[in-house]
Amino acid sequence: MPRQAVSPGSTGLLPRVYLWSVVHELLTMEDTMKRSSVLATILAFISADIAMADDKADITAAMNAWKDNLKSACGGGGAGKILPLYAEDGVLWGTISPTIRDEPKELEDYFVGACQKLPKLTVVFSNPLIRVYGGDTAINSGVYLFTYEKDGKPVELPARYSFTLVKRDGKWLIADHHSSAMPK
């Protein structure tokens, strides 16, 4: 079962207990001004939870786009398929390279090389842990399994990852991507 971060505003036990205590206070309150203040707090609490859920869904969609575009790029579609998912100032510390890449041309070179070294490359994410900070920055950490073809047979390469994403013009982009082979 995928892990999920519990944060203020989520459906964790502590926030629910707090919410019910606030609702109880609201129902037993006589002061109209205080009641309005408590009601505003409840609405803010609920709004933050909804916004965080939407952001997590958008980040999951961005990660699925990365997975699909990587498959397309390494299936003959070219590295240009994956580059638009990275921020203009995006950084990549790739699984199969000792070099950190911080220029768009360097990212492109990495993916061209990766697709040549690992033909028909695909990836499956597991156990993503997505955290959203301030509504415009998120970190997604977890494990993924790369599969590629060697001598006509599938080869698996388990790895761990951290993606830092930033929201620019309403779109989540990869600002930092670190990937390393899973220790044996």
pLDDT at 24 over 80: no
C-alpha dist (Å) from residue 4 to 31, 47, 128, 132: 39, 19, 8, 12
Average pLDDT, the chain: 84
Q: Is 166 helix (H, G, I), strand (E, B) or coil?
A: strand
Q: Which residue has the tokens 């909804």?
A: 50
Burial 91-126 (b: 16+ CB within 10 A, else e): bbbbbebeeebeeeeebbebbeebbeebeebbbebe
DSSP code, position 153: E
- CA 139, CA 131: separation in Å to the nearest integer? 5
pLDDT at 133 over 70: yes
Q: Which stretches of the chain are DSSP H helices?
A: 13-28, 32-72, 104-117
What number is the average pLDDT over the span 103-131? 95
pLDDT at 10 over 50: no
35 or 76: which carries more pLDDT confidence?
A: 76
Percentage of the chain beyond pLDDT 90 is: 66
Structural domains present in the chain: 57-181 (3.10.450.50)
User: Tens of pLDDT along 144-178?
Assistant: 999 999 999 999 999 999 999 999 999 999 999 99
pTM of the entire structure? 0.72
Q: Is 118 helix (H, G, I), strand (E, B) or coil?
A: coil
Token code pair at residue 104: 């768009």
Question: pLDDT-derived band of residue 18, with 50, 70 and 90 as boundaries?
Answer: low
User: Tens of pLDDT along 89-106?
Assistant: 999 999 999 999 999 999
